[in-house]
Amino acid sequence: MKLLLPTFLILFCFSCQDATDPLDSRKVNFPTHLEKVSQVPTKENVWIFILAGQSNMAGRGLVAPEDTLSHLRILALDKLDQLIYAKEPLHHYEPKLQGLDCGMAFARKLVRNSPDSISILMVPTAVGGSSVEQWLNDDVHRGVKLLSNFRSKARSVADLGVIKAILWHQGESNAHPDKLPTYGVKLDSLIGIFREAVGNDTLPILLGELPAFPKNYDNRQAVNGIIHGYVQMDDWAEIIYTQDLKHKGDSTHFDAAGQRKMGERFADVYLDMLE
């Protein structure tokens, strides 16, 4: 018995280690150091983009080393609202769920296609699982007071540059028969509140489609129909196509390749709006 007890404890410890492996592997490429911006660009040369919505904007993709390469012209706010050189993951509200979002791919495409004097500032505000009603009601969701946080971030960057657009991906939490009839009206109201918070009635809103994954397919496509309808009536809103993107194995979240492609498509749509 004296030999069995230590053996059991050793096996138990190995079992505990195995249980943490998925979390460790998710974080294996997370950056260990975030560098504060040493020289803040002049306000007129900083384009600011706010990322909002739920988990497919917050990001659940696998972060690769390439996603953590910083660029002197790509900036972000950290969890203390400090200005840093951006690295994935940009969103920090859900530490146990963090992953790759579309932000760095979006920003890299923009810096390649904008004047050398322009810097891009990404402002993360998306929280997984949040519904449009929770945003409108300014609910506390997963520890974040959604609309208050958005307003706070918008205020905190107002003197750093010009807010150019909101990147929005949300709708999975509203992809249910009882929530579909009012989704369009509520989305319209929320976008009005976003624009009021930024102080720009014609602020571009870029809306990503919900994915064409098998899970809850019909309801998700119904949300997409509402989003497309909204874009048709708003001269300053555009849609981002996602129907060909793949999921990470859960039929809910974009994989890393999908996130990067979506980011580039957000950038393409925004660049088209500038022409």
Distance CA 62, CA 57 (A): 14
| Residue from 220, 214, 211 nearest 240 by CA | 211
Phi, psi at 16, each rounded to 5°: -65, -40
Q: Which phi and psi (to 5°) does residue 77 adopt?
A: -100, 135
> How high is the pLDDT of residue 275?
86
Summary mean pLDDT of the chain = 92
Q: Which residue, among 129, 166, 155, has the nearest Cα to 144 in the 3D structure? A: 129
Residue 163 pLDDT exceeds 90 = yes
- Specify if 26 maps to a domain: no
Pair of tokens at residue 142: 């997963």
In a domain, 9, yes or no: no
Overall average pLDDT of the 93-101 stretch: 96
Q: What pLDDT does 13 receive? A: 35
Among 4-18, 54-68, 116-130, which is the least confidently predicted range? Answer: 4-18
Bond preceding residue 89 cis, omega within 30 of 0: yes
Q: What is the pLDDT of residues 215-271, one digit of tens each?
A: 999 999 999 999 999 999 999 999 999 999 999 999 999 999 999 999 999 999 999
Give how many domains the chain has, as a whole number: 1
Is position 18 within any domain?
Answer: no
Q: Give the domain range for residue 78.
A: 43-274
Percent of the chain with pLDDT over 90: 89
Q: How many CA atoms lie within 13 A of 186 on its CB side?
A: 16
Instruction: State residue 24's pLDDT score.
Output: 60
What confidence score (pLDDT) does residue 17 get?
33
Indicate whether 188 pLDDT > 60.
Answer: yes
pLDDT of residue 2: 37
Segment 195-214 shows an average pLDDT of 98
Q: Give counts: helices (H), strands (E), the chain.
A: 8, 9
Residue 149, domain member (yes or no): yes
Mean pLDDT value across residues 23-29: 81
Q: Is the pLDDT of residue 165 over 50?
A: yes
pLDDT for 1-24, tens place per residue? 333 333 333 333 333 333 334 446
In a domain, 23, yes or no: no
- Nearest CA to 207 among 175, 234, 173? 234
Residue 21 lies in a domain: no
**Residue 208 near residue 168 (C-beta atoms within 8 A):** yes
The answer on pLDDT for 97 being more than 70 is yes
Q: Is residue 228 part of a domain?
A: yes
Torsion of CA 175, 253, 238, 105, to 10 degrees: 170
**4 found inside a domain:** no
CA 201 to chain CA centroid, nearest Å: 23
CATH number assigned to the domain comprising residue 190: 3.40.50.1110
